[in-house]
Amino acid sequence: IAFTPHPILITKTIKTILPAASTSLQQPFTQVISDVDDTLKSSGGVKIGDIALGGIDTQYARGDFYPGVFQFMLELSRCRGSDSSSSGVVTAPPKVAVLTARAEEFKLALELKPDSKLAKAFRAAGERSGFDGWGLGPVLYGSVAEWVIQDRKGWRKFNNFERLLEQDPTGTIMQYVYVG
């Protein structure tokens, strides 16, 4: 399925990610892109048959957040040539984008919502550093097809990354860091 960007959706996404964006920025913002399971929180190594439900980490209990992970994501998000626009006003860092293999068909049960424990933990890290409203940004899901044919997960994440790139077609507003 080809993704055709919608100008209003792209503009809305940029405004959501960069709430205090200035058009006169000299250095691009850094948008952190993250996976969820075994990156932000432990999968617990749970499997159904031979298929891992999110990952293989058994060091932490399923659902436990990794220590310091939200502050780490915030600090990466803040990386620019300068934290300020030319007017000297501190701008909020971009929200973290999530590329997850979670099936969109099961979004009703697996959706990462603004009131989820994960989103609240992101927000709390931002608030502690003076960035109210910082946290979970766009979430791009996988599909059941990737659960059936595991080798397709990488392709889906790559295609979802291409969708993120469309928010900045010129390549001058964003630079990206993938953690996963």
Instruction: Give DSSP secondary structure letters for 137-154.
Output: EEEEEE-HHHHHSGGGHH
The helix or strand, by DSSP H or E, that contains position 13, with its residue range, turns out to be helix 7-17
Q: Find out whether 103 and 146 touch, Cβ atoms under 8 Å.
A: yes
- 17-45 pLDDT tens trace: 444 444 444 678 999 999 999 999 999 99
Predicted confidence at residue 11, as pLDDT, reads: 37
Distance separating alpha carbons of residues 89 and 130, to the nearest angstrom:
13
For residue 170, pLDDT over 80 is answered with yes
Beta bridge partners of 84: 90
For residue 178, pLDDT over 60 is answered with yes
Q: How many residues are there in the chain?
A: 180
The distance in angstroms from the start CA to the end CA of the chain is 25
